Structure 1
Amino acid sequence: MTPTTGSAAHGMTPVAARADWNDLPERVRAAVQEHTGDVHQVSTISRGLNAAFTARLRTDSGMVFTKGVPTDRAAAQRREADINQHVQPIAPRLLWQIDTGGWHVLGFEHLNGRPADLGPESTDLLAVACVLGELAELESPNVACRRVEDRWADAAQNAGADAGLLAGDQLLHTDLNPHNILITDAGVRIVDWSWPTLGAAWIDTACAALWLIAEGHTPADAEAWASGIPIWTNGTADALDAFAAINAGLWGQIAEAEPRPWKLRLHGAATALLEHRRR
C-alpha cells in the first residue's frame, strides 16, 4: 500500500541526505509492515542529528515512531536498542527492530508530545529537573558502553583537563538537547539514546545546563537550576571545572568542523560556562 507523506520539518538543522519512506528499499518497507500492517500515512521528521530516516507512521496497528540508518552506520542505533529495556519508563518503548536490505530500522511507541522549552521563563524546567533526578538513579545495564573518560579523552588532553574526574558507572544520555526531551501528557520522556555512556551521575545534569545556557540562561542561573537536582552536589568543583573545559574545547572543534548555528550556540554556551567557572 502506498501511504501519503508529509513533512514535520522544524527545530534543528536536518542531517544531510535525510531519506523519506519511499526512498527506503522495497524490502525494508515490507519488513516494517510485517510488524505494523499496512502503512497509511507517513510524516517525515526532518529535525534530528543521528538517523538518516525518521518518521511517524500511521499503520493498521496504530501510530509508531521509526528511525533508521544504513547498516554500516548502525553501531550507535544498535546500542540504543540494546539499552532500551534498561531506560524504561523514561524512554519510549522499543517495539521492534529490523536489519535487512542494507538498513537497520527501529520502531518505538509513538509519543504525543513537544520538545522541552529550556528558556529562562519556561514552565518546563521543574519537570525537566525531576526527570534528570530519575536519570541519575537508572541502573547500569549489562551492555557495552563507552566510558566518558575514554570518549572525551582527546578533548580533555587538548584542554589540559583530567577526564578521570568525570569517571563513574552511571548510565548517561549526554545529548540532552530540547528535541530529545519530550513533554508528554504522561510526563517527561528522554528520547534518542544513540550515545549511551558510563560516567559520573551528575554529568547529564551538566549537559542539560549547557543547553539552558544556549537557550538564554546565564551560566550562574543554569548552575543554580542544576543545584536543585540532588545528584548535582556529587560533582566537585574540580570535576565541574574539568567538564566545562572539556566541553568548551569539544564544542569548539565540532563547530569549527561544521559551523551550523546550533553547534555555534553550544560552543558559545560551553565557553561562557568555562569563563564563569574561572572567575
Structure 2
Amino acid sequence: MTSAPSAAGVRTPWSALPAPVRDGVEEVLGAAVVGAVTQVGGFSPGVAARVVLADGRRAFVKAVSAEVNPVSPAFHRREARNAAELPAGAPAPRLLGAYDDGTWVALAFEDVAGRQPHVPWRERELARVLDGVGELARVLTPAPFPARAVGEELGERFNGWRVLLDEGREADAGLEPWAVRNVEWLSELAAPWGGFASGDTLAHADLRADNILLTERGVVFVDWPHAVCAAPWFDLLLMLPCVRAQGGPDPEEVFAGHPLGRAADPEGVTRTLAVLAGFFLEHAARPAPPGLPTLRPFQRAQGAAALAWLKVRLRNRAAYSRPVPDLP
C-alpha cells in the first residue's frame, strides 16, 4: 500500500498578517478578532485559522498573498465566487465575505464545528464520507451555477502522459517500468477522457481528507476553487487514489460498491483514471512550488495508487475490452 505524506502547506499565523489585511478582514466580519488558532492540513499556504470575534461569534479565515505563492490568490478568488453561488442545501460552509487588496486575498467562512477524518482512514469514517459524496452529487445535480465543463477546465493540465512523452521525460520521472514502456499507449488511452467525464453535476474536483469535515449532523466539504461540471462519479473517482494512498481500502472495490460507481460507464471510468494517474505522476516529477514542500511527494503517492488501480481495471475486460500491452 502506498503511504502519502501529510498534506501541508507553509502556514502563517493570524498575528503575522499585515495590519491592513487584519483590519480588512475584521471589517468584513463586523467585529475584532480576539483569538485565532491555526489549522493544520491542506496545501494552501498562508493563513488558515479558526477565529473568535469580540462579540462571541466564530469564523474560519484563510488568507494568502502572491508573495507567498503566485497561484494561490487566484484560487482564493475563484473559491469566493464558487462558494457564494453554492445553494443553501449544499454540504459546504457559508461564505461570510472576502477581502482583496490586489496582493492579499482573504476569505471568511462560517466556522464548522467538525474535524477532518483520521488518517490512516478508518472504516466507519470512510463509510460516512462515501455516503456524503453520494449526497453531494445528488444535491448538486443539476449544477446550481454554470461552472466550466471538466474537459475544458482541466484539459490543459490533465495531459501528463503526453507531456512526459513530448518532453522525453518518461525515463526520468520515477515511473515504474511498465509505465515507462507504455507512455504513448497510456496517452492514447487517456486522450478522450473529457467526453466520458462530462456531465451536469457540480463536482468539487479536489476531495481529500483535509478538505472534508465530519460533524454531528453530517459531512461537510470545504475548499471549492476547482468546481467544475462533470459526471456524477467524477468526485468519487478523484478521491479514491488519495484514500488508498492514506491507508484506505482497495479503490476498485469501493468504487464498484458505491451507487455512483455502479451507475458509471466502465470505459469512461478507466480512461479518466488513466488521465488522473498521468496528471499526478507528471506533476510529481516537477520542482516543488513555493510554500508547498509536501505537494510533490503527495502527488507521487496518489499517482502510484491511481496507476495501480488502473492496472486492476485493465485486467478486467468488462472495464476495458481492447488489447493492453504487456500488462504484468
Structure 2 length-normalised TM? 0.73
- Identity among equivalent pairs (%): 31
Of 259, 266, 272, which residue of structure 2 is paired with 1:237?
Answer: 266
Tell me how far apart the structure 1 counterparts of residues 12 and 136 of structure 2 sit (CA, whole Å).
32
CA contact (8 A) 1:92 1:109 kept: yes
Alignment of 1:254-265 (within 5 A): 254-257=283-286, 258=288, 260-265=296-301
Misfit runs of 4+, over 4 Å: 118-121
The residue number in structure 2 matching 1:66 is: 61
Q: Does 1:142 align with 2:141?
A: no
The residue number in structure 2 matching 1:270 is: 306
Q: CA deviation at 1:51?
A: 4.5
Q: Which stretch shifts more, 73-82 or 60-69?
A: 73-82
The residue number in structure 1 matching 2:113 is: 112
The residue number in structure 1 matching 2:76 is: 77
Question: Relative to structure 1, is the Cα distance of residues 45 and 216 closer, same or farther in structure 2, using a 3 angstrom cutoff?
Answer: closer
Tell me how far apart the structure 2 counterparts of residues 262 and 215 of structure 1 sit (CA, whole Å).
10
Tell me how far apart the structure 1 counterparts of residues 152 and 129 of structure 2 sit (CA, whole Å).
28
Alignment of 1:1-279 (within 5 A): 12-16=6-10, 18-34=11-27, 35-61=29-55, 62-70=57-65, 73-84=72-83, 85-88=85-88, 89-100=90-101, 102-117=103-118, 119=120, 121-137=122-138, 138=140, 139-143=142-146, 145-154=147-156, 155-156=158-159, 158=162, 159-160=187-188, 161=190, 162-163=192-193, 164-218=195-249, 221-257=250-286, 258=288, 260-279=296-315
* Unaligned segments of structure 2, at least 5 residues: 163-186, 289-294, 316-328
Q: Which stretch shifts more, 27-36 or 80-89?
A: 80-89
The code of the aligned residue for 1:213 comes to R
Tell me how far apart the structure 1 counterparts of residues 148 and 227 of structure 2 sit (CA, whole Å).
7
CA contact (8 A) 2:151 2:197 kept: yes
Q: Which stretch shifts more, 116-125 or 232-241?
A: 116-125
Q: CA deviation at 1:36?
A: 4.1
Q: Which stretch shifts more, 255-264 or 60-69?
A: 255-264
Q: Describe the SS at the equivalent of 1:105.
A: strand
Q: CA deviation at 1:118?
A: 6.6
Q: Describe the SS at the equivalent of 1:136.
A: helix
CA contact (8 A) 1:251 1:267 kept: yes
CA deviations on 1:196-233 (whole Å, 9 max, x unpaired) are: 11111111111122222212345xx3232233432223
CA deviations on 1:71-112 (whole Å, 9 max, x unpaired) are: 774332222222224254300111121223732211111112
* Structure with the larger RCO, 1 or 2 (CA within 8 Å, 6+ apart): 2
Tell me how far apart the structure 2 counterparts of residues 245 and 206 of structure 1 sit (CA, whole Å).
11
Tell me how far apart the structure 1 counterparts of residues 256 and 207 of structure 2 sit (CA, whole Å).
17
Q: Which has the larger radius of gyration?
A: 2
Q: Describe the SS at the equivalent of 1:179.
A: helix
The code of the aligned residue for 1:74 comes to P
Tell me how far apart the structure 1 counterparts of residues 92 and 207 of structure 2 sit (CA, whole Å).
13
Q: Describe the SS at the equivalent of 2:115.
A: strand
CA contact (8 A) 1:133 1:230 kept: yes
| Number of residue pairs aligned between Structure 1 and Structure 2 | 265
CA deviations on 1:14-51 (whole Å, 9 max, x unpaired) are: 324x3322332211111222224121112122432135
Q: Indicate the structure with greater strand content.
A: 1
